[in-house]
Amino acid sequence: MPHYDKRDFPLSEIREHLEPGPIVLVSSALEGRQNIMVMGWHMMLGFVPARLACYIWSENHSFEMIRRSRECVINVPTVDLAEKVVAIGNSSGRHKDKFAEFGLTPEKAAKVSAPLIKECYASFECRLDDDHMVEDSNLFFWEVVKAHVDRSVQARTMHYRGQGTFMIAGEELDMRNRFKPEML
């Protein structure tokens, strides 16, 4: 498993890691327990403040932990963690600690009670910003309050296509010289 050295990362630049659409691992904590779930339905909503939305199925054990704690950490795994990601997505945290079961390491966050996942190259601490669609639509609006990223890696993120298949992030295409400066 790779070792990542995550450092503080500018909140205004988190799109770099979330906008391409990777599968993420959402960690939560409540009343002395912690949990991890896999999530694919999320989107950016703003740069400053850094905001995003995500959909969490209410049948997930994490749903109640996240709804009640009003916090979470969104961690971005790479393909090195593929086996663990799939195993986490196919199990429930109702009766076990997924950190222990899947050999992942919780790390203390700076601003929320939910832990970072050490084995992910990027982690974003989130506080619930707007809960008006949680109850009826399973939709959470977050403000990202702290970002940790290992900038030394070109991360091979996983992008879910359904039916048990993923796309792995491929080559980079640099089109900077075709952009107006104000559009960068």
List residues near its own copies by CB under 8 A.
Answer: 13, 15-16, 19-22, 40-45, 53-55, 79, 82-83, 86-87, 89-90, 137, 139, 156, 158-180, 183-184
Select from 35, 77, 78 the least CA-distant residue to 60: 35
Q: Which is nearer to its own copies, 8 or 57 (CB)?
A: 57
CB of 32 to its own copies, least distance (A): 29
**What's the closest the beta carbon of residue 157 comes to its own copies, in angstroms?**
8
Nearer to its own copies, 30 or 51 (CB): 51
Cβ atoms 24, 74 nearer than 8 A? yes
CB of 60 to its own copies, least distance (A): 12
The β-bridge partners of 115 are none
- Give the DSSP letter string of 33-74: EEEEEEE--EEEEETTTTEEEEE--TTSHHHHHHHHH-EEEE
Instruction: Name the residue among 150, 146, 144 with its Cα closest to residue 118.
Output: 150
Nearer to its own copies, 55 or 63 (CB): 55
Which C-beta is closer to its own copies: that of 43 or that of 100? Answer: 43
Closest approach, Cβ 92 to its own copies, in A, equals 11
The nearer residue to its own copies, 152 or 165, going by C-beta atoms, is 165
Nearest distance, CB of residue 31 and its own copies, angstroms? 28
At 135, the amino acid letter reads E
- The residues pairing with 36 across neighbouring beta strands, listed in sequence order, are 27
C-alpha torsion sign, points 184, 6, 68, 60: positive
